[in-house]
Structure 1
Amino acid sequence: MKWIPIFTMCQTTQRKIYEQMRSQMGEEQMNDQSAARTVRLILPVSVTGSRLRLCFKNADLQTGEIQRIVIAKCTESGQIAEGTAQTVTFQGESYLTVEGQGRKTSDSLRINVKAGEYLAVSAYSESMNLSVNSIEAMMIQSEPGDLCDVTFQNVDPTPEFMRQRGLYMSPQFPMLSMIEIETEEAEPTVIGCLGDSITQQGYWFYPLLKRICREIPEKAVLLNAGIAGNRLCKDSPENYGTLFGCAGVKRIEEDIFEIPYINTIIFALGINDLMSGESEYDSKPSPSAEEFGRACRQVAERAGKANIHTVAYTLYPAFIDSDTEIGKKREALFHAYNDEIRRAGFDKVIELDPILKDPDGCQRYKEGMSQPDGLHLSDKGGAVLVETLCLEDLEH
Structure 2
Amino acid sequence: MNIPALLFAAILAFATVLPASGPAQAAPVWQAIWTTPLQSVPDLANPPGLYAKPEVAGRTVRQILYPDLDGREARLHLSNRYGSQPLVVERATLARSDGAGGLTAGKIAAVTFGGRAGLTLPPGAEADSDPIALPVVRDRALAVSLTLGPRQTMQAWHRIANRVNFISIPGDHAATASAADFRGRTTHYAWITQLSVPSTGTGSLVAIGDSITDGLRSTFGARHSWPEDLARRAAAEGLPPLAVLNAGISGNRLLSDSPCYGERLIGRFDHDAAMLPGVRAVILLIGINDIDFAATPPRRGLDCDAPHTQVAANDLIDGYKRVIEDAHRRGLRIFGGTLTPAALPPAREALRESVNQWIRHGGGFDGVVDFDAALRDPRHPARLLPAYNSGDGIHPSDAGYAAMAKAVPLTRLRDILSHP
TM-score (norm 1): 0.79
Q: Across the two proteins, how many residue pairs are aligned to each other?
A: 362
Q: Distance in 1 between matches of 2:103 and 2:322?
A: 44
Q: Is 2:157 the partner of 1:132?
A: yes
Q: Which amino acid aligns with 2:213?
A: T
Q: Is the 8 A contact 1:51 1:112 kept in 2?
A: yes
- Which is worse superposed, 297-306 or 82-91? 297-306
Aligned to 1:259: 276
Aligned to 1:318: 342
Q: Is the 8 A contact 2:274 2:332 kept in 1?
A: no
Aligned to 2:126: 103
Distance 1:286 1:93, change over 3 A: same
Q: Which amino acid aligns with 1:328?
A: P
Identical pairs, percent: 24
Distance 1:195 1:209, change over 3 A: same
Aligned to 1:164: none
Aligned to 1:166: none
Tell me the secondary structure at the aligned position of residue 172 of structure 1: coil
Tell me the secondary structure at the aligned position of residue 49 of structure 1: coil
What does 1:223-234 correspond to in 2, within 5 Å?
223-232=245-254, 234=255
- Which of the two has higher C-alpha Rg? 2
Q: Which amino acid aligns with 1:230?
A: N
Q: Distance in 2 between matches of 1:212 and 1:76?
A: 23
What does 1:11-30 correspond to in 2, within 5 Å?
11-16=38-43, 18-21=44-47
Distance 1:218 1:50, change over 3 A: farther
Q: Distance in 2 between matches of 1:196 and 1:69?
A: 30
In structure 1, list runs of 5 or more residues that go unmatched.
Answer: 158-169, 321-326
Tell me the secondary structure at the aligned position of residue 187 of structure 1: coil
Q: Is 2:333 the partner of 1:333?
A: no
Q: Distance in 2 between matches of 1:77 and 1:214?
A: 26
Distance 1:68 1:132, change over 3 A: farther
Aligned to 1:210: 232
Q: Is the 8 A contact 1:187 1:219 kept in 2?
A: no
Q: Alignment partner for residue 355 of structure 1, among 368, 371, 374?
A: 374
Aligned to 1:376: 395
Aligned to 1:2: 29
Q: Distance in 2 between matches of 1:74 and 1:41?
A: 7
Q: Which amino acid aligns with 2:229?
A: P
Q: Is 2:189 the partner of 1:173?
A: yes
Aligned to 1:195: 209
CA deviation map 1:77-125 (0-9, x unaligned): 8874311322323344444432211112222211223445443334455
Tell me the secondary structure at the aligned position of residue 81 of structure 1: strand
1:178 CA drift (Å): 1.4
Aligned to 2:301: none
Q: Distance in 1 between matches of 2:86 and 2:212?
A: 29
Tell me the secondary structure at the aligned position of residue 109 of structure 1: coil
1:191 CA drift (Å): 1.0
Tell me the secondary structure at the aligned position of residue 173 of structure 1: coil
CA deviation map 1:364-394 (0-9, x unaligned): 3222534443333333322232234332132
TM-score (norm 2): 0.75
Q: Distance in 2 between matches of 1:272 and 1:7?
A: 25
Q: Distance in 2 between matches of 1:380 and 1:149?
A: 38
CA deviation map 1:49-100 (0-9, x unaligned): 2221111111111222345433223467887431132232334444443221
Q: Is the 8 A contact 2:256 2:307 kept in 1?
A: no
Distance 1:339 1:52, change over 3 A: same
Q: Is 2:246 the partner of 1:235?
A: no
Q: Is the 8 A contact 1:296 1:340 kept in 2?
A: no
CA deviation map 1:175-199 (0-9, x unaligned): 112112124xx21122122211222
Distance 1:60 1:289, change over 3 A: same
Q: Distance in 1 between matches of 2:323 and 2:194?
A: 23
Aligned to 1:290: 314
What does 1:66-145 correspond to in 2, within 5 Å?
66-74=89-97, 80-115=103-138, 117-123=140-146, 125=148, 127-134=152-159, 136-137=161-162, 139-142=163-166, 144-145=168-169
Q: Distance in 2 between matches of 1:388 and 1:80?
A: 37
Distance 1:86 1:229, change over 3 A: same
- Which is worse superposed, 222-231 or 262-271? 222-231
- Which is worse superposed, 351-360 or 111-120? 111-120
Q: Distance in 1 between matches of 2:311 and 2:75?
A: 40
Tell me the secondary structure at the aligned position of residue 363 of structure 1: strand
Q: Is the 8 A contact 2:91 2:174 kept in 1?
A: no
Aligned to 2:11: none
